[in-house]
Amino acid sequence: MADIKVIGVLGSGQMGLGIAQLAAVAGISVVLVDSSDSALQKGMQGIRSSLQRFVKKGELTQEAANDTLAKVKHTTSLKEMSSADVIIEAIVENEDVKKHLFSELDRIVKPHTILASNTSSISINRLASATRRPHQVIGMHFMNPPPIMKLVEIVRGSATADGVFATIKALAERFGKTVIRSQDYPGFIVNRILMPMINEVFYTLYTGVATKEDIDCGMKLGTSHPMGPLELADFIGLDVCLSIMKILHHGLGESKYSPCPLLVQYVDAGYLGRKSGKGVYSYHAPPNNGNP
């Protein structure tokens, strides 16, 4: 594996903070960048709380937790990414915003730096096309929450170099993850299957087939899902679910992927799930980003 001394993580929302934590726990220095200072503060607090939970469980010493936290430098300045060997982007799931960022990063970072995206569904080829280094662009899709979930889905673009794939695979394994690889099609593997199911669950609720509680209970006890799908949608973020459905609908062109009007209505109302305190369910306690 190429020598990775510094990892840049872009976006300190629920995914970015978990990815930053994973990298720091693996002993790698992290630069965490977000355009919002309050998101950065919240992200750092999320990492701090998560590490403390590991200390309480006896899985980490206080000294190790302090050392880990000290490895994460946070800033709103994108230029600070210039020291990174690998960037893992985890900003909002919007193709235009991500492409703009990738083209800026391309100018700022070192020639050997790999640009990885945690996108749930956006084409890696399209993100790569915004740069002059398409062979160094790759999808590195973590599951939520990153410190706990064991999977990383790696997505190669048409130009991604073999060495870049090998480096990112080795990095994911250093984080303790199992890797699966996907071709660059909308939703890749996991969300191609999961999101239409979640969308169908919204249709089930929308058409009055059952209550949210009975739908979730049915899927938990009837199909051994650890979380009900509506609970899971709130956990992922309803805005993220809607963005992915739009990408599947647009990219695969079939009406079966059309987002359920009820999902659209929730997002329009600002009911984004746990992170906003309300989604399909209400969350009275302040959300902790689901991070352990």
Active centre residues (catalytic): 120, 141, 153, 191
Instruction: Please report, as ranges, the residues that interact with ligand NAI according to CB under 6 A.
Output: 10-16, 33-36, 39, 90-93, 97, 101, 118-120, 141-142, 144, 236-237, 240, 275
Encoded amino acid at 221, one letter: L
In the bound state with ligand NAI, the residue whose beta carbon lies nearer, of 232 and 262, is 232
Rounded CA gap, 122 and 9, in Å? 18
* Distance in Å, CB of 256 to ligand NAI, minimum: 21
In the bound state with ligand NAI, the residue whose beta carbon lies nearer, of 34 and 231, is 34
Q: Is 14 labelled a binding residue?
A: yes
* Distance in Å, CB of 10 to ligand NAI, minimum: 5
CB-closest chain residue to ligand NAI: 13
* Distance in Å, CB of 63 to ligand NAI, minimum: 29
In the bound state with ligand NAI, the residue whose beta carbon lies nearer, of 27 and 270, is 270
Q: Is 16 labelled a binding residue?
A: yes
In the bound state with ligand NAI, the residue whose beta carbon lies nearer, of 35 and 288, is 35
Q: Among candidates 188, 183, 160, which has minimal Cα distance to 93?
A: 188
> Which amino acids are annotated as binding site for NAD(+), given as ranges?
11-16, 34, 93, 98, 120, 144, 275
> Which amino acids are annotated as binding site, given as ranges?
11-16, 34, 50, 57, 93, 98, 120, 144, 275
> Which amino acids are annotated as binding site for CoA, given as ranges?
50, 57, 120
